[in-house]
A and B are shown apart, each in its own frame.
Chain A
Amino acid sequence: MNKWTNTGQGPGLLISSVPGPTATGLGEPQAEVEETLKRIQSHKGVIGTMVVNAEGIPIRTTLDNSTTVQYAGLLHQLTMKARSTVRDIDPQNDLTFLRIRSKKHEIMVAPDKEYLLIVIQNPCE
């Protein structure tokens, strides 16, 4: 993040060349996203990773389309419910992470204001 801000908002760059920062601005976050996801995916037993927006619409996934849509829709609802539960109990509190352990998998949901990161892992492997 720091790196991005440094390069993107560097005054020298802005002044010196206009296409420069746009090129890096387009290319770098993309690469960073891919890199992060790749890193997560490379963990042992990870079955799939997906990024979903606040409305439950998938943005990036490593699974097939139908599975992604199903996971995204259901987990989005569950996360919203979990978040509202946490907030109802204490309005100053918020949900930061959701782990669902099932017989076969563990589903991890990292929620944010605008996005959800969903990772499915097979822990027994």
Chain B
Amino acid sequence: MAPKQKQKKKSSRGKKSPKPILAASEDMEPVNMESMGHPEIYPLVLTTKTQEIFNCRIDEDVTDEQPYKLINKEDIFEDLRNRAAVSDFHPVKKIVQEYPGNELLLVYDKDFKYGLNFYLIGTEEGKENYLNRQVIPVLPSQHLQLLILDLIYALRLSPAAIGDLLILRLDLSDDAVHVHGAAPQTSVFCCCRRLHLVSSILFCCIACTQATPEAAAAHSGEAQGADAGTGPTHVGVAAEGPGARGASMCYLYCLHVLQITYMISQKRIEFGAPVKFSDQNASSVKDAYIECTAYPDKNFTLKQLEKDVGMQVIPQIKDISTQTEWTYPKNATIQYYPREFSEEEKETLKQSRPLVDFLNNASISVEIALQQNEIMNTFIDDWKYLAEEEGTFGDKTDTHLKEYQSFTDLHSPTEKMITCISWHPTIYGLIAVSVAVRLSFEDRVYFSGKLLLQPSLILFWSFSDPIHPQLMLESPDDIFCFKFCPSDPNIIAGGCINGQIVLWDITAHADRIENIKAGGSRSKKATLKPMFLLEPESNKEAMYIRHCAVSSIESGHKKVITDIHWLSDTFEINRMGSVFENRSGICCQLVTCSADCTICFWDIRPQKPLTPQTTEKKKEESIEIPFDVPSTFLHLDLSWKPLSKIRLSKGETSLDHCPTRISLNEDHLLYKTEDKTLTQSKTVKAGEMNPYHNLESGMANLLKPIDDFCTKFFVGTEDGEVIYTDWKMEKDPETGRHMPKKPVSIHTIHDGTVHTIQRSPFYNDIILTVGGWNVAIWKEGVMTGPLLQSCCAPKMYTSGHWSLTRPGVFYIGREDGYIDIWDLLEKTHEPAQSQNICITMITYIKPWIFSAKQQFIAIADYYGTLHILEIPWTLSRPSTNEMTSVNYYFEREVKHLEYVEQRKNIREQEKKEMELEMEKKKIKTYQKSKEQMEAELKMDYESYLELEKTVLINLGLLKVTEKGSYMDVV
């Protein structure tokens, strides 16, 4: 269509160019309908006369059905010549003159569309358009489509080929169907409407098409001839182009009722062939490439300024379902609050008759059962009691301690004594012993130079090796007391003779001492072999371990430290002695007492308010420290100062009490932690991460104070006093200083230095004290005196310890090498038995539970030998009710003490009363009057006379007659 339009435009231009010339020659300018979009239409008025001339009378020649008439150009010229200006064609004379064709198309404008009754088409294209267009508007229906489809099917055309290869030209004049064209299938199909009549005709056509090209060519002439003809049904097929060219063209004309112009053009060899697509160069083929350049579309550059948007909030709903594994149904209920009756309900229930009936019935049977139990214990285990009795009446030989092993340090050149013993809390058969040179103070001073050369040691002995110590802990001076840390057995704290506290960390050697167990078999061989054979091997094993830290010389104790204790991991104390909770969960505080009359509390954690000076010092020291010393307590070394210091003043005199032993409330707990499983788990923990390696300073954050904590403790002194006092400081109202409280009680019971103050492992409040020549047992809270005080023994007592399994048994070591075993259930006035252990003074006793059936006691003597003895069954196994019976004994003693105290008061009162009476009497005698005195004298004289008479009668000096007189006198 486009090219046609172009042509039209060209033609219009071509027309226009001569127009001005014509306009110049003739005034008349034909009026076309350019304003209405049809420049080729020139409206005319044709009079009836003109209509007659040109055979175009309205309703006769031109009708609604045939509204046009083709008029010969010559006829118009003739008319123009005949009628000149009168001619109706005069206004369009110019058009007619310039018209290229022979016939002009005159159209009857019935509706006066262009204003006049006729109009003339001024161009050839316009004529053709009019003639063609006339049939388009009303198109038949789907029949044409069917037709086309049939055709396509008949021609074996692939549907893809339809678009470009098929050019249809259908003219259906009857139903005004004119399909022509350019025919991409869209336009064809949209034009195709009803045409079922045609299908048969088309079949003919198709049959022809399928004939050979020669046959088609033979028909073509006929077909062309039929073109102009008006036969009723004429079908012609024109095949144009020879077969050599491979193309054929079919013309199909159907005339009569309808006219079909059908043009199919396709290369013959491509009929029915599959379509092949291929790439081609766009530049090589003309018009193969159409460029569509981008350009801004003004329609879309408009800026939106306002917009109406409606919104409605809709709740989002999601349907989700899952399918879980379904096992089996189970009814489960949890009642977390007990059901209870209210008071009223209870009252009404109690008053209800059924309850009373029930109780009356039930009480009988219950009471029968109760009475049965009262009468006899049916379920008593006689065998158990039988065995018990057997045990108590067992052999006497069984009660003796049996020598198991003994250790002596053969390597030390000087003679030494053992000062302290401690069993390793976790490792079987490992015992630590501190040794000190056996010298008096004067000798010690005298030999001090010599003593410096040899190390002061704590030796670790193992059951598996009786000759060589497993570890040797070095210290600056002789150790007089030491303790394993309850939370980590690899930490050991000891007190020196010079007043320093020493700390060791043997974590690095823990494996070594634990693995001795494996060497158990070796020890047997070792006893068989001569000693010198073993020497080199074991020398290698002997380990000297340096201490980690020692306390400051200036600010610590001045004299020998006599006792040291770890405070329990449950609490910690501050400078004032107030007790706080211990958050670290490990033991990190120590308490020591020394012969310089002070008791000190120490904290192994670094103190926060450190002056820069001391930190510098520390740095310097850290350089000096050899590499083999663990840095656990580096922060303490030589700068460690006590947290607080307590001085036990005697009050009136300037002298102080000199403590030798202390016992805190928590001591018994430490025994409990010696329970094997507990400590083992603790060591495992320690192995994972040793808390002592990253100690944080205590007291840094606010700790919760423990209010109801008993801060009182027992102290034994050099003078044999047992003091019960408080470590909590109190503010002196006068000076404002914090002063230690006055002791709760002081008793001088012992006639020598107190060397043992120990709480019973069974009763928290029972304390054993040993000192001088006697033993005493105390109860905390009963401070009138000891529950038990033994009489003076012939030999001095030097050490003591409670039995770990029998509440009523304790061991006392004597200076003559004997062990006194006290059994409170058997005797309370003297030891149950005595046994000789060695020839010299026993310095320390420490029992140890190895298993339920085996117990050992370590006894150290003055000559440096450590005896390990096995405790017999009778001394280790408690009888069934020993705990309660011993407790009962203590209670009885308490009552006795109370009674004695009461008696004392009563006696004092009585004494006072007596004295008062005596005084009263005396006063009375002085108050007596003289008369009374005379009367009394008279009485005395009369009694004298009587006596004289009776004597005389008896002697026969007086006569009987005088008897009567005597009687009268009476």
A interface residues, Cβ below 8 angstroms from B: 1, 4, 25-26, 29-30, 32-33, 36-37, 39-40, 43-46, 51, 53, 55-60, 69, 72-73, 96-97, 99, 101, 106, 108, 110, 112, 114-115, 117, 119, 121, 123-124
Task: Determine chain A's interface SS by DSSP, over half rule.
Answer: mixed
- Inter-chain contact B367/A39, CB cutoff 8 Å: yes
**CA separation between A123 and B179, bound complex, in Å?**
124
> What 20 new A-B contacts, CB under 8 Å, besides A36-B360, A69-B340?
A4-B356, A29-B350, A30-B347, A33-B355, A33-B359, A36-B363, A39-B363, A43-B370, A53-B349, A56-B339, A59-B350, A69-B338, A73-B338, A96-B365, A97-B366, A108-B366, A114-B355, A115-B358, A117-B358, A119-B366
- Inter-chain contact B358/A57, CB cutoff 8 Å: no
Residue pairs across A and B with Cβ atoms less than 8 A apart, 16 shown, are A1-B356, A29-B352, A29-B356, A33-B355, A33-B356, A36-B360, A40-B367, A43-B374, A44-B370, A44-B374, A56-B339, A57-B341, A99-B369, A114-B355, A115-B355, A123-B377
**CA separation between A29 and B377, bound complex, in Å?**
34
Q: Which residues of A contact B370 (CB under 8 A)?
A: 40, 43-46, 108, 119, 121
Q: Which residues of A contact B350 (CB under 8 A)?
A: 29-30, 33, 59-60
Q: Which residues of A contact B356 (CB under 8 A)?
A: 1, 4, 29, 32-33
- Smallest beta-carbon distance A54→chain B, Å: 11
Q: Which residues of B contact A57 (CB under 8 A)?
A: 338-341
Q: Which residues of B contact A37 (CB under 8 A)?
A: 359
- Smallest beta-carbon distance B690→chain A, Å: 42
- Inter-chain contact B340/A108, CB cutoff 8 Å: no
- Inter-chain contact A123/B341, CB cutoff 8 Å: no
**CA separation between A37 and B349, bound complex, in Å?**
15
**CA separation between A121 and B368, bound complex, in Å?**
13
Q: From B347, which residue of chain A is reached at the shortest CB distance?
A: A30
Q: A45-B373, A69-B340 are in contact. Are A40 and B353 (CB under 8 A)?
A: no
Q: From B359, which residue of chain A is reached at the shortest CB distance?
A: A36
- Inter-chain contact A106/B354, CB cutoff 8 Å: no
Q: From B376, which residue of chain A is reached at the shortest CB distance?
A: A123
- Smallest beta-carbon distance A124→chain B, Å: 6
Contact pattern, B 328-358, Cβ under 8 Å of A = 1, otherwise 0 = 0000000000111100001101111111111
Q: From A116, which residue of chain B is reached at the shortest CB distance?
A: B362
**CA separation between A44 and B256, bound complex, in Å?**
139
**CA separation between A99 and B357, bound complex, in Å?**
21
Q: Does B677 contact A (CB under 8 A)?
A: no
**CA separation between A101 and B338, bound complex, in Å?**
26
Q: Does B379 contact A (CB under 8 A)?
A: yes
Q: Which residues of B contact A119 (CB under 8 A)?
A: 366, 369-370
Which of B353, B359, B366, B374 is within 8 Å of A45, CB to CB?
B374
**CA separation between A29 and B354, bound complex, in Å?**
10
- Inter-chain contact A26/B354, CB cutoff 8 Å: no
Q: Which residues of A contact B371 (CB under 8 A)?
A: 43
Q: From A55, which residue of chain B is reached at the shortest CB distance?
A: B339
Q: Which residues of A contact B347 (CB under 8 A)?
A: 30
- Smallest beta-carbon distance B360→chain A, Å: 5
**CA separation between A108 and B346, bound complex, in Å?**
22
Q: Which of B355-403 contact A (CB under 8 A)?
A: 355-363, 365-367, 369-371, 373-374, 377, 379
Which of A1, A55, A56, A58 is within 8 Å of B360, CB to CB?
A1
Q: Which residues of A contact B346 (CB under 8 A)?
A: 59-60
Interface magnitude class on chain B: 20 to 34
**CA separation between A21 and B357, bound complex, in Å?**
18
Sorted nearest first, the 6 A-B pairs with minimum C-beta distance are A110-B362, A123-B373, A69-B338, A117-B362, A43-B370, A29-B356
**CA separation between A43 and B367, bound complex, in Å?**
8
**CA separation between A36 and B374, bound complex, in Å?**
18
- Inter-chain contact A108/B369, CB cutoff 8 Å: yes
Which of A29, A45, A56 is within 8 Å of B355, CB to CB?
A29
- Inter-chain contact A4/B353, CB cutoff 8 Å: yes
Q: From B362, which residue of chain A is reached at the shortest CB distance?
A: A110
**CA separation between A69 and B346, bound complex, in Å?**
15
Most A C-beta atoms less than 10 A away, residue of B350, B360, B365, B367: B350
**CA separation between A25 and B348, bound complex, in Å?**
12
Q: Which residues of A contact B338 (CB under 8 A)?
A: 57, 69, 72-73
Q: From B364, which residue of chain A is reached at the shortest CB distance?
A: A110
Q: Which residues of A contact B362 (CB under 8 A)?
A: 110, 112, 115, 117
- Smallest beta-carbon distance A111→chain B, Å: 8
Q: Which residues of B contact A30 (CB under 8 A)?
A: 347, 350-351
Q: Which residues of B contact A29 (CB under 8 A)?
A: 350-353, 355-356
Q: A36-B360, A39-B363 are in contact. Are A115 and B373 (CB under 8 A)?
A: no
- Inter-chain contact A97/B369, CB cutoff 8 Å: yes
- Smallest beta-carbon distance A125→chain B, Å: 9
Q: Which residues of A contact B369 (CB under 8 A)?
A: 97, 99, 106, 108, 119
**CA separation between A101 and B365, bound complex, in Å?**
16
- Inter-chain contact A58/B340, CB cutoff 8 Å: yes
Q: From A60, which residue of chain B is reached at the shortest CB distance?
A: B350
- Inter-chain contact A115/B374, CB cutoff 8 Å: no
- Smallest beta-carbon distance B337→chain A, Å: 10
**CA separation between A55 and B357, bound complex, in Å?**
18
**CA separation between A114 and B346, bound complex, in Å?**
14
- Inter-chain contact B363/A40, CB cutoff 8 Å: yes
Q: From A106, which residue of chain B is reached at the shortest CB distance?
A: B373
Q: Which residues of A contact B351 (CB under 8 A)?
A: 25-26, 29-30
Which of B340, B354, B367 is within 8 Å of A115, CB to CB?
B354
**CA separation between A121 and B341, bound complex, in Å?**
25
Which of A72, A115, A117, A123 is within 8 Å of B366, CB to CB?
A117
Which of B349, B352, B365, B373 is within 8 Å of A97, CB to CB?
B365
**CA separation between A4 and B352, bound complex, in Å?**
12
Q: From B352, which residue of chain A is reached at the shortest CB distance?
A: A29
Q: Which residues of B contact A53 (CB under 8 A)?
A: 341, 349
Q: Which residues of B contact A73 (CB under 8 A)?
A: 338
Q: From A4, which residue of chain B is reached at the shortest CB distance?
A: B356
- Smallest beta-carbon distance B888→chain A, Å: 14
Q: Which residues of B contact A59 (CB under 8 A)?
A: 341, 346, 349-350, 355
Q: Which residues of B contact A72 (CB under 8 A)?
A: 338
**CA separation between A35 and B358, bound complex, in Å?**
14
Q: Which residues of B contact A124 (CB under 8 A)?
A: 377
Contact pattern, B 614-643, Cβ under 8 Å of A = 1, otherwise 0 = 000000000000000000000000000000
Q: Which residues of B contact A101 (CB under 8 A)?
A: 379
Q: Which residues of B contact A121 (CB under 8 A)?
A: 370, 373
Q: Which residues of A contact B367 (CB under 8 A)?
A: 39-40, 43
Q: Which residues of B contact A112 (CB under 8 A)?
A: 358, 361-362
Q: From A99, which residue of chain B is reached at the shortest CB distance?
A: B369
**CA separation between A30 and B349, bound complex, in Å?**
9
**CA separation between A73 and B338, bound complex, in Å?**
8
Q: From A56, which residue of chain B is reached at the shortest CB distance?
A: B339
Q: Which residues of A contact B363 (CB under 8 A)?
A: 36, 39-40, 110, 117
Q: From B346, which residue of chain A is reached at the shortest CB distance?
A: A59
- Inter-chain contact A117/B339, CB cutoff 8 Å: no
- Smallest beta-carbon distance B503→chain A, Å: 47
**CA separation between A51 and B356, bound complex, in Å?**
11
Q: From B379, which residue of chain A is reached at the shortest CB distance?
A: A101
Q: From A61, which residue of chain B is reached at the shortest CB distance?
A: B346
Contact pattern, B 301-345, Cβ under 8 Å of A = 1, otherwise 0 = 000000000000000000000000000000000000011110000
Q: Which residues of A contact B374 (CB under 8 A)?
A: 43-45, 123
Q: From A65, which residue of chain B is reached at the shortest CB distance?
A: B340
- Inter-chain contact B366/A110, CB cutoff 8 Å: yes
- Inter-chain contact A51/B366, CB cutoff 8 Å: no
Q: Which residues of A contact B379 (CB under 8 A)?
A: 101
- Smallest beta-carbon distance A59→chain B, Å: 5
Q: Which residues of A contact B349 (CB under 8 A)?
A: 53, 59
- Smallest beta-carbon distance B883→chain A, Å: 15
Most B C-beta atoms less than 10 A away, residue of A26, A51, A101: A51
Q: Which residues of B contact A110 (CB under 8 A)?
A: 361-363, 365-366
- Smallest beta-carbon distance B519→chain A, Å: 44
**CA separation between A59 and B359, bound complex, in Å?**
12
- Inter-chain contact A51/B359, CB cutoff 8 Å: yes
